[in-house]
Structure 1
Amino acid sequence: MDEMTAVRDLRAEAPAAERADLVAGRELLLREAAGRTRTRRLRSDWRLVAAGTAAVITAVAVIGTQVADRGPEGAQPGAGTGYNLELGSAKDLLNDAADAIAAGPAVTARDGQWIYVKSVETNVTDDEPDPQTSEDWMAYADPKMEGRRAGDDHSPREEYAFLKSLPDDPAKVRAKARAFFYATDPSETRTQHEYRALVAVLSRAYAYDPAGLAKVYRALATIPGVQVAEVQDDAGRSAYALYLKSVSNTSRDEVLLDPDTWLYAGYRSVERSGRNEEWGKGDVVISTARLAVAVVDRKGEKP
């Protein structure tokens, strides 16, 4: 019996969450992770859904080919259980990822350029639960998103500067991440805050210095309770799912890493209790996958 099963059995008498409670909780999670007020119910912020990678920026066409046979726009038709292989502690995997990232190329952009992101999301709580593909553009340098003008949201340029500024000590990296994505929920523990902040940095690393990004992975590896599973993302691809061990009996929120590049690949929310009337235990309630990211010269330009 794995640890998650033991926790579920221990909490077997706990009442199942009502739909309204789940919706409210998911909205809070996504709003905090995205770092801004949300207006669309349960729709993941596109800046959380996709992060820049050297492999994708230089080979968008290759990724398009890889997902072309997996249904319309590279998405699987609807959310489901997929496969899930629990691998235990993520410490070794994250340190391996850090080594690979540090040895790789930098991803850079300049003022006046834009970040292009293509992603797919399936949300079974939505009025349109089929996979929805979106394309978005974000200004690399946006003064309105810098210097705390947008709370703890940041422009890609500001996040690049943050990564360049990181020290070697993982404890100091965790402290800087806490300040960069500060706490707004008084019930959030320090461990939860550090985990949330560090995975937010990973998800928004559209342009990055490899040494700085590697330090984020090494800091994440020092947080107690970070686990990993091998899963399938919303585009039908294998992924590593990171999550923080919790006694919650309603859902498990996962951050996905690409097993080839080790970079951010998406997000999933998985039903844990099996007592919801609308979806079963192990069902993926919300799933997002990054299909492509690129630096372009103009808003609306595609790679």
Structure 2
Amino acid sequence: MDEMTRLRELRAHAPAPDRSALAPGRQRLTNAIAGRRRGPRADWRLASLGAAVAVTVAALLGTQLLGASDPRPTGPATTAGGLDLSGPAETLGRAADFLEGVTPAPEPRDDQWIYIRTVTGTPALKAEKDKDNTGEVQYDPDSWIPYGNPAAEKDQSDDDRSAREIYRAAAALPEDPDALLAEVRELYPSGDDNPEGEEEQTFRGLGVLVESYPLAPDTLARIYRAMATVPGVEITDHLVKDAAGREAIAVTREEEGTRQRREILLSPYDYSYAGLRFVVTEDHEMKVPRDIVGLNRKLTAGDITLTVARTAAAVVDAEGTRP
């Protein structure tokens, strides 16, 4: 049975797929996009699985999730002024300064839920799309994750941490950037067969943390200050578009050996997580596992192979509740 069929069958019988059951298929598809095989620890392990599966499947098959982009709030970092895109220290330092002035919300109660809404865009490829890549796969963009999840916490797997564990582990990160980055690598180690370097591992782990919801503002500020010190991290000198069509700040780093760069997208209004993109940096052909047919593509520098946006995130009192 191929990954597409397995994902459809699993998703068809449950409103919120079990992350441990779908992780292998999800990981293989994410690996294909990134251009390499990875170990068992992956970027998506802390995200809602419903959104994660939709990202990888929809991006590879050229489909799009349904979901309207939310309007941006006004704030101090608008496109009219206040933004500094001259470099990681300047951009992320300004973001940290802003967040340190934000009054934190109370930590969620153990019985509350985390609501996430995600929209995925189709790959933007200059070369003609393969005729075989016409499958239609759609998933509900809304997902709910219990804040406290005793089963996940008992499992002690870094693939299945609860939102509560992530919130508290992030809040305990030290102020010193070097010490913080070392702890991030401990939180999100590389797989045994994963050839990624230390800086790539660090940026990947930071991206997973930034994507996590909720995080206290001062926690996110510390993460941004540390992120600015990672070798190879850059800021795109103009705002880019996320999968929902919104303007976003792109914090980027080349993925070693993949001829693509990872872009963590931030809101230019409040510096919150906006989404993720993978952008091709060199012409090449993307290859995927041999049992997934019809997905090899010739890629051109500037192509966007994956783009996903988070359009809503909130703490709610019950599963199924929207803010």
Q: TM-score, normalised by structure 2?
A: 0.66
- Residue 64 of structure 1 is matched in structure 2 by 70
Change (3 A) 1:42 1:257: same
Deviations 1:166-192 (A, max 9, x none): 221111111111111122144121111
Amino acid in structure 1 at the alignment position of 2:305: V
- Residue 170 of structure 2 is matched in structure 1 by 163
Displacement of 1:287 in angstroms is 0.7
Counterpart mapping for 1:255-270 below 5 A:
255-270=264-279
Change (3 A) 1:152 1:131: closer
Change (3 A) 1:194 1:282: same
- Residue 10 of structure 1 is matched in structure 2 by none
Q: Aligned equivalents of 2:279 and 2:221: distance in 1?
A: 28
Deviations 1:87-107 (A, max 9, x none): 563222111111111111224
Displacement of 1:141 in angstroms is 0.6
Deviations 1:56-83 (A, max 9, x none): xxxxxx973559xxxxxxxxxxxxxxxx
CA contact (8 A) 1:251 1:269 kept: yes
Deviations 1:207-234 (A, max 9, x none): 2222222111111111111011131111
CA-based RMSD: 3.5
Change (3 A) 1:186 1:275: closer
Q: TM-score, normalised by structure 1?
A: 0.70
Change (3 A) 1:92 1:23: closer
- Residue 55 of structure 2 is matched in structure 1 by 44
1:294 pairs with 2:314 = yes
CA contact (8 A) 1:23 1:42 kept: no
CA contact (8 A) 1:249 1:273 kept: no
Q: Aligned equivalents of 1:249 and 1:197: distance in 2?
A: 18
- Residue 60 of structure 2 is matched in structure 1 by none
Displacement of 1:282 in angstroms is 1.4
CA contact (8 A) 2:248 2:268 kept: yes
Specify every segment of 5 or more residues in structure 1 that has no aligned partner in the other structure, as ranges.
Answer: 1-18, 46-61, 68-86
Displacement of 1:265 in angstroms is 0.6
Deviates more, 1:184-193 or 1:246-255: 246-255
